[in-house]
Structure 1
Amino acid sequence: MCQHQPACPSGTDENGQYARIVASHPEQGWYLLCNGVVLFDDGGLMLSDHRVVAPVYELAAA
């Protein structure tokens, strides 16, 4: 899907969320990346092979 040089990571790569945004819908809370990944505002992902990756939250030190 990606036409850039250098090419973005694939949609199933562990760094796939770092591909370029091709469609932005911040009012709905999601972004489509050039490799087919859907990135959600909460940090969750839907990969190009339809697997879902839950957002990861880190607790702040008190």
Structure 2
Amino acid sequence: MCQHQPPCPTADSADRESARLAAHHPEQGWSLLCNGVLLFEDTGELLPDGQIIAPHRPLATGRVVTAA
């Protein structure tokens, strides 16, 4: 699928999110990567084989939660 040199990481690679953008639609909340991965603004992913990767945003930092 990828025509770049060096080629982008495949959809099953751990670093799949570093592939180049093929299409970007921020108004709709998604981007298509060169390797066929649909990347959503909530950090969820849909792989070309239909596998769903749950959103994996980092937890908020600098906020302390205490029990009452």
State whether TM-score is above 0.5: yes
The structure number with the bigger radius of gyration is 2
Measured in 2, the distance between the counterparts of 1:50 and 1:18 equals 19
Q: Which residue of 2 aligns with 1:15?
A: 15
1:15-58 CA-to-partner distances (Å, cap 9, x unmatched) read: 11110001111000000001000000011111121101011232
Measured in 1, the distance between the counterparts of 2:32 and 2:56 equals 19
Q: Which residue of 2 aligns with 1:52?
A: 52
TM-score scaled by length of structure 1: 0.90
Letter of the 1:49 counterpart: D
SS of residue matched to 1:17: helix
State the Cα RMSD in Å: 1.1
Identity %: 50
Structure of higher RCO (CA pairs closer than 8 Å, 6+ residues apart): 1
Letter of the 1:60 counterpart: T
In structure 1, the gaps of 5 or more residues are none
TM-score scaled by length of structure 2: 0.82
- Count matched residues: 62
Alpha-carbon distance, 1:59 to partner:
3.8
